[in-house]
A and B are shown apart, each in its own frame.
Chain A
Amino acid sequence: MTTIIPALPPVVLQLDRLSRRRAGRHAVRDLDLSLHAGQVLGLLGVNGAGKSTTLSMIAGALRPDSGGIQLRGEDFLEHPELARNRVGWLPERAPVWAELSVSEHLDAHGRLRGLNGSTLRAARERVLDRLDLQPLARRLAGVLSQGQRQRLGLACALLHQPELLVLDEPANALDPVQAVALRGLIREQAAAGTAVILSTHLLAEVTAVCDRVAILHDGCLRHDGPVQADDHQALERTFFEIAMHGDAAAHAA
């Protein structure tokens, strides 16, 4: 009798002993992490735990001091150009070029990511529709509310259909309706095979959309495990134990 074992989706992201110092201290230290296609990983941690630094390195905006990043088995540090069409990044606070309209903003992002002509136009229309930005298409990015900026940032991250989506506090400034829509969007991306890594302070966000959760503390990975969608309290307990006492109690749990 032969047993058929379902094949695991391919590993999209692999971090090997990733380290980075910032402002004279270890912002991220010896971080090992992997992420499969279609998986949604929630990155938790208190302020200063190293979440944004980790995501900036994965997005290619910041170089690590040591360690490695592999995208589908290719060395990302050797080939930073891989970021161009494989990674979509929404940075914290979603910075924008204030002088450009929403539509121009998406065009500029698309060209920077290698899209042009009809491909770019189609991609722009797709994300404008998907993120309900059509009514704002001609509005200047500089006059958008923070929630609208956040949606524009998300649209830019999704424009080139990346295989890895890096979202730094994507639910920031979104109203409850938009936050629910964001969850749907993330699940939709995961279902299409995109690997998603998101940092957040909202534990409910993690239990609602993530398959896995990683908790950072003082730049070190203290917890990495599956998320039990129906056990919000267990996640809360683990998070607070790590936040208060480092890793010992969490490991015991």
Chain B
Amino acid sequence: MSGAVAGTFAVARLEWRRMVVRPLAWVLAALTLAWLAWNFTLLLGGFLAGQVQRAALPDGPGFTDLVAVPLLGQLAQLSFLVVPLLGMSVIAGERRNGTLPLLFATGLPASRIVLGKYLALLGWLLLWLALTLSMPLALAHATDLDWGKLAAATLGLALMLAALAALGVACSAFASHPAIAAAAALIIALALWSVNVGAQMAGISGGLLNWLAMSTHEQSLLRGLVSTADIAWFALLIVVVLALASRRLDNERERG
């Protein structure tokens, strides 16, 4: 393993360790998972109550449409709040504690420091997604899951969490205070999600605004439609945002 790759993993491991010993990550995980579990039972109750009526429909919605995907949709909503809170101190916190120069002094390029921190945050979020997913999967043996649709929705959620994590890390790189980083990440994420609201109200279904909006790409994945264009949109966003964060850290090393 080359020095830079090993260094990236060392940064990721350090960030992961710092995250798991902080109460914030556990409190957020516990509260959100409790909320999602409660909603899962409500969704499941609704699904069971309507089972008789749906039996008459040959192509009616199933467990995946009525329980699993809506649950992932709720996770998506929660992520707008959770990801900025988890990501706010990854770099801004280091800056405030005076530990950022310790990372600079390892000789690692700024991009590796940013990548290491991003991987740690992403790891935590994917674990959060896996725990949420375990709820509908626990009933897989007793229900008729649409595996393709569930996989597409899970991919959509994973990409959305990855994009929000990149935004969180970048806002943390630019902000002087973690709270400012969290607020900025929340506002930018909401703006990115709903940039096309006006266009949709005017009945415009295509165009640049719709392409820019995260909701356009996320909703088609949640519906089970996997397209390369949507995946590329998320990948592009992640790369651009992480590159900006790296540039910011590089400037900081230059500027002091």
CA distance A136 to B251 in the complex (A): 37
Size class of the contact patch on chain B: 20 to 34
Number of interface residues of A (CB under 8 A): 32
Given contacts A93-B98, A95-B97, A95-B102, contact A84 B253 (CB under 8 A): no
CA distance A95 to B105 in the complex (A): 13
Total A-B residue contacts, Cβ distance less than 8 Å: 87
1/0 contact string of B100-130 vs chain A (CB within 8 Å): 0111111111000000000000000000000
Residues in B whose Cβ lies below 8 Å from that of A98: 97
Given contacts A91-B98, A112-B10, contact A97 B107 (CB under 8 A): no
A100 touches B21 (CB 8 A): yes
A84 touches B18 (CB 8 A): no
B7 touches A112 (CB 8 A): yes
A62 touches B256 (CB 8 A): yes
Given contacts A59-B105, A61-B104, A112-B106, contact A97 B14 (CB under 8 A): yes
1/0 contact string of A58-76 vs chain B (CB within 8 Å): 0111110000000000000
Residues in A whose Cβ lies below 8 Å from that of B9: 111
B103 touches A112 (CB 8 A): yes
Residues in A whose Cβ lies below 8 Å from that of B3: 81, 84, 114
Residues in A whose Cβ lies below 8 Å from that of B13: 108, 111
Query: Is B17 an interface position by the 8 A CB rule?
Result: yes
A99 touches B22 (CB 8 A): yes
**Interface of chain B, main secondary structure:** helix
Which of A83, A84, A93 has the most chain B CB within a 10 Å cutoff?
A: A84
Given contacts A81-B107, A112-B103, contact A62 B97 (CB under 8 A): no
1/0 contact string of B1-22 vs chain A (CB within 8 Å): 0011011011101100110011
1/0 contact string of A95-125 vs chain B (CB within 8 Å): 1111110001000110111101000000000
Partner of B253, one of A63, A87, A96, A113: A63
- 17 A/B residue pairs, CB under 8 Å, sorted by A: A59-B101, A60-B107, A61-B105, A80-B107, A89-B102, A91-B98, A91-B102, A95-B98, A96-B97, A96-B99, A99-B18, A108-B10, A108-B14, A112-B11, A112-B106, A114-B7, A116-B6
